[in-house]
Amino acid sequence: MALLNILHYPDPRLHKVAAPVTTFDAALQKQVDDMFETMHEAKGIGLAATQVNYHYRLLVIDVSEDKAEPLVVINPEFLKKDGETVYEEGCLSVPGVYDKVTRAERVTLRAQNAKGEFFELEADGLLAICLQHEVDHLDGKVFVEYLSEMKQNRIKTRMKKREKQNM
């Protein structure tokens, strides 16, 4: 397994729309394993392939306290979204930034696992929030784009400044 480089906002590659996964093989399983390792190392609960510059419709999630409930979601499609909730979100691609975002309270999702088998998942709470957040990444959207233009500009400035300091 290997740690992958996480892209940071406002990197334009974060806005690329991911293509469907069509091949379910050992290379895909390695990508899944590397993404879980990267997510855990970064202390995250979700990671979309777009965030590691792999532009296919793949995401990994584990919202459990003990990181014992890994979920692989490939080619996700929301079948239903219900209710509304506001949750303070953060993102591995926007380190140190947290803000409130309005999302659906409950979701029903159809997707494939790493073997290509289809499944449906009903989720609420943190899992529903995380699924919506990560699918947004696959669609080329970062959570800060739900915020006001003024907040977005401040975050862009802060991220660019941090990037220069890390060079």
Beta-carbon contacts of 13 under 8 Å, excluding residues fewer than 6 positions away, are 7, 50, 53, 55
What is the spatial order of strands in the sheet that 58-61 belongs to? 46-48, 58-61, 71-82, 106-112, 118-124
133 among annotated binding-site residues: yes
Distances in whole angstroms, Cα of residue 26 to Cα of each of 56, 88, 125, 139, 151:
15, 36, 33, 25, 42
137 annotated among ligand-binding-site residues: yes
Q: Which stretches does DSSP call E strand in 10-53? A: 46-48
The C-alpha torsion from 72 through 78 and 82 to 87, rounded to 10°, is 50
- According to the annotation, is 55 in a ligand binding site? no
Question: Is there a catalytic annotation at residue 134?
Answer: yes
Q: Report residue 96 as tokens.
A: 């140190």
The active-site residue out of 37, 65, 120, 134 is 134
Return binding residues for Fe cation: 91, 133, 137
Residues making up the annotated binding site are 91, 133, 137
Tell me the catalytic residues: 134
